[in-house]
Amino acid sequence: MNNPKLSIVDLTKRYAPGLDPAVDCLSMSVEEGHLVALLGPSGCGKTTTLRMVAGLMDPTSGSIMVDGKDITQTPVHKRGMGMVFQSYALFPHMDVAQNVAFGLQMRKVGSKEQNRRVVEALDLVKLGHLAGRQVKELSGGQQQRIAIARALVVEPTLLLLDEPLSNLDAKLRENMRTEIRSIQQRTGATTLFVTHDQDEALDMADRIAVMNGGIIEQYGAPAEVYERPQTHFVADFIGQANFFASAVVADDGAAADGERSYVVDVDGFGRFGAVGAAGLAGSTHEIVVRPHRLKTSLQQPAGPFIEGVIERVSYTGDSLSLGLRAGGKELLSQMPTASSGIPRLGQTAYLSWDPADAFIIPGTAGIPHGTERPATADALAAQDVA
């Protein structure tokens, strides 16, 4: 990322002097042509961030740069961004073609050129045949596409989408995901995409910025964010997770991708293997194991294991989801279905994992053995005594 398309530096927004900042000293860069998802729970500051980038809102401090140029003070209508609103915000007093042409008219594009580009944009979203329609005669999905066409027709420096799929029904949402992704890839538009839906983010984005409480907890490729969560929040928010408070007992040598293997003492369950960044030995951390990486069997395995009682079974056809209770802790696991031997409620099951599938979350309080947990690790404490 030598020449990022968009850089956000120490961006802060405080809605009112007394309030906690909605966006707190946030920095990130977006590479040209990438689709970046701002992912996080409702109220974490995604929309605020997007609106500051769009120029619809002034930051309290910090700066926004596009192509290396500071645009923090540039008014919205001179930023050349293409924004798609959650409610689509199509102009109800104009027909479809007029809506799409609006940005071109503002840019004083000649009428011939206008027509050509409107047709092109409508074709891009496969709605060329609706050019003369009134906005109120369109379905939600169609409105969505028109909104995208309207934003893209001006060849925006950035395409900004605020929860574009949240008003669509589930089936349509799936289709639009692929649709938007394919349009974005075809046009190469650098895109900032706000969503609270992790599947959407994982599916569509080149990079995901996981936001929480006005800050970015982790910024990375989908696989990275999923497999190597840097904080408890990220691990918990994206996908399902089992957390274990563990003492990192010993460095067990090099693992793949420059990581280290460790021996960890999992609170109350004995010693297991796990991987993580270098230099973690001797401190207490959480490890995360995804349910489908938890090996579940009804016979005792050879290596270390956790013994649990099956409390919940849910059968989804190609996999079984199990809820287990082990040592007062609630655990989730998944196993492939077999034609026979479906686990029953109340049966004992044995859980284990490959060391490579357990990841030591570095962000979770790197505290030496035997010391009291600081107050900031409250969430973690709640997790493992449950």
Partner 1 sequence: MSIITAAGNSAPGPGLAPGVLEKAKSRRDRRTFLALLAPAILGLVASFVLPLAYMVRMSFNEGGPDGVVEEGFTLRHYIEPLGDSYFWKVTLDTFQMGLVVGVLCVLVSYPVAMFLARSTSKFKGLLTALAIAPLLTSAVVRTYGWMVILGDTGLVNSSLKSMGFITDPLKLTNNMTGVTIGLVEIFMPYAILAMISGFGRLSPQLEEAAGSLGASKFKVFTRVTLPLTLPGVLTAFLMVFVLSVSTFITPRLLGGGAVQVLATEIYDQTTGLLNWPFAAALSVILLVLFGIIISVYQRLTKKIGA
* Cβ atoms 146, 100 nearer than 8 A: yes
Distances (CA, A) of 96 to 6, 106, 125: 30, 16, 12
Q: Is 18 in the site for ligand ADP (CB under 6 A)?
A: no
Least Å from the CB of residue 194 to Mg ion: 6
Question: What minimum distance in Å lies between the beta carbon of 334 and partner 1?
Answer: 42
Q: If binding is defined by CB under 6 A, does position 17 make contact with ligand ADP?
A: no
Q: Is 184 in the site for ligand ADP (CB under 6 A)?
A: no
CB of 43 to ligand ADP, least distance (A): 4
Per-residue contact string for residues 148-177; x = within reach of ligand ADP by CB under 6 A:
------------------------------
> How many residues bind partner 1, per CB under 8 A?
28
Under 8 Å between Cβ of 267 and 299: no
- By rule CB under 8 A, what string of x and - marks binding of each residue 151-170 to partner 1? x--x-----x----------
Contact between 19 and partner 1 by CB under 8 A: the answer reads: no
Residues 35-54 that bind ligand ADP (CB under 6 A): 40, 42-48
Handedness of CA 103, 109, 115, 116 (dihedral sign): negative
Considering beta carbons, is residue 43 or 270 the nearer one to ligand ADP? 43
Using CB under 5 A, which of 35, 39, 47, 362 touches Mg ion?
Answer: 47
Residues 174-233 that bind partner 1 (CB under 8 A): none
Instruction: Give the 3-state DSSP-derived string for the chain, with helices as H, strands as E and coil as C.
Output: CCCCCEEEEEEEECCCCCCCCCEEEEEEEECCCCEEEEECCCCCCHHHHHHHHHCCCCCCEEEEEECCEECCCCCHHHCCCEEECCCCCCCCCCEHHHHHHHHHHHCCCCHHHHHHHHHHHHHHCCCHHHCCCEHHHCCHHHHHHHHHHHHHCCCCCCEEEECCCCCCCHHHHHHHHHHHHHHHHHHCCCEEEEECCHHHHHHHCCEEEEEECCEEEEEECHHHHHHCCCCHHHHHHCCCCEEEEEEEEEEEEECHHHCEEEEEEECCCEEEEEEECCCCCCEEEEEEECHHHCEEECCCCCCCCEEEEEEEEEECCCEEEEEEEECCEEEEEEEECCCCCCCCCCCEEEEECCHHHCEEECCCCCEECCCCCCHHHHHHHHHHHC
Instruction: Count residues near ligand ADP (CB under 6 A).
Output: 10
Residue from 1, 106, 223, 385 touching partner 1 (CB under 8 A): that is: 106
Least gap, CB of 137 to partner 1 (angstroms): 12
CB of 86 to partner 1, least distance (A): 8
Give φ, ψ of 73 to 5 degrees: -95, -5
Q: Does 212 bind Mg ion (CB under 5 A)?
A: no
Give the nearer residue to Mg ion in terms of CB position, either 47 or 191: 47
Q: Which stretch binds Mg ion (CB under 5 A): 40-48, 73-81, 235-243, 253-261?
A: 40-48
Residues 37-76 close enough to bind partner 1 by CB under 8 A: 54-56, 75-76
Number of other residues whose CB lies within 10 A of the CB of residue 331: 22
**Among partner 1, ligand ADP, Mg ion, none, residue 48 binds (CB under 5-8 Å by kind):** ligand ADP
CB of 238 to ligand ADP, least distance (A): 16
Answer for which of 27, 60, 102, 293 binds partner 1 (CB under 8 A) is 102
Complex with ligand ADP: residue 60 or 321, whichever CB lies closer: 60
Q: Does 218 bind Mg ion (CB under 5 A)?
A: no
- Give the contacts of 323 (CB within 8 A, at least 6 positions apart): 310, 311, 312, 313, 330, 331, 332
Q: Which stretch binds partner 1 (CB under 8 A): 102-110, 118-126, 176-184, 282-290?
A: 102-110
Residues forming the site for partner 1 (CB under 8 A): 54-56, 75-83, 85, 87, 89-93, 102-103, 106-107, 134, 150-151, 154, 160
Residues forming the site for ligand ADP (CB under 6 A): 15, 22, 40, 42-48
Residues engaged in binding Mg ion (CB under 5 A): 47
